Amino acid sequence: MKMKPSILSLIIFLVIFGTVGVTAALDLWKTTNTKQPAQYQSGELAGQNNPADIRGSYTFADINKAFGIPIEDLGKAFGVKDSNQYAAFQCKQLETIYAPLAAQGKEVGTGSVRLFVALYKGLPIALDDGTYLPKSAVEILLGKGSLSPEQIDFIQKHSVETP
């Protein structure tokens, strides 16, 4: 069978837009995040939301919904100045607030929110040496009194002042 440019053009449109149309009809076509983090797949935590999957586009309200952490705690922990902005504050905005520290290799960003949420909820998380928490977040976590000695040591050594 020979293929002509005219037919190939049609096939390209049909395959691309046909696939989009069919998957949209089946409600599979999604171009934005559902703000629903992945869940632990196995073990005793299976079915629970995994903080390691928190994205930069998540607002503190999304995190509150997914993990039940009060929005107030999140806003205070990360030094968001205007309390009216707590709910709509996106994790990736932290990178702007804490940009001066990034140059020193101390990153406060979405990774820090993941760490904070995991420790707040007592969920497992890998302690990454480049991830830092604001002092206010460390105080909230220490106040909860449920951290292991290793975690306490880590967050105390990885705390920074809010600029």
Partner 1 sequence: MPKTKKSNTGYRTAVQMFFLVFVTLLTINYTLEKTGSAIPFFSVASIHAICPFGGVVSIYQFITTGSFVQKIHESSFILMFASLILAVGFGPVICGWVCPLGTFQEYIGKLGRKIFGSRYNQFIPQLLDRYLRYLRYGVLIMVLYITATTTKLIFQDVDPYYALFNFWSEEVALSALVVLGITIVLSFFVERPWCKYACPYGAVLGIFNLFRIFKIRRSPSTCINCKKCDKSCPMNITVSSGEKVINHQCISCMKCTSEISCPVAGTVEFSTKGEKTA
In whole angstroms, how close is the CB of 22 to partner 1 at the nearest point?
9
End-to-end CA distance of the chain: 68
Polymer length in residues for the chain: 163
Q: Please report, as residue ranges, which positions from 4 to 23 form the binding site for partner 1 (by CB under 8 A).
A: 4-6, 8-9, 11-13, 15-16, 19-20, 23
Q: Could you give the maximum distance between any two Cα atoms of the chain, in Å?
A: 73
Amino acid at 70: P
In whole angstroms, how close is the CB of 147 to partner 1 at the nearest point?
24
Calpha distance 35→22 (Å, rounded): 24
Taking the least distance from each CB to partner 1, the nearer of 16 and 83 is 16
With CB under 8 A as the rule, give the number of residues binding partner 1.
Answer: 31
Q: Among 3, 25, 103, 126, which residue sits at the site for partner 1 (rule: CB under 8 A)?
A: 3
Can you list the pairs that 81-87 forms with residues at least 24 positions away whose Cβ atoms lie under 8 Å?
Answer: 86/60, 87/59, 87/60, 87/61
In whole angstroms, how close is the CB of 1 to partner 1 at the nearest point?
5
Q: What is the b/e burial string over 110-132, where b = at least 16 CB atoms within 10 angstroms of the residue's CB? A: bbbbbbbbbbbbebebeeeeebb
Q: Which of 135, 131, 100 is nearest to 115 (CA)?
A: 131
**Binding status of residue 37 toward partner 1 by CB under 8 A:** yes
Q: Among 48, 56, 76, 87, which residue sits at the site for partner 1 (rule: CB under 8 A)?
A: 56
In whole angstroms, how close is the CB of 70 to partner 1 at the nearest point?
25
Q: Among 25, 35, 41, 71, which residue sits at the site for partner 1 (rule: CB under 8 A)?
A: 41
**Binding status of residue 129 toward partner 1 by CB under 8 A:** no
Residues binding partner 1 (CB under 8 A): 1-6, 8-9, 11-13, 15-16, 19-20, 23, 28-33, 37-39, 41, 50, 53, 55-57
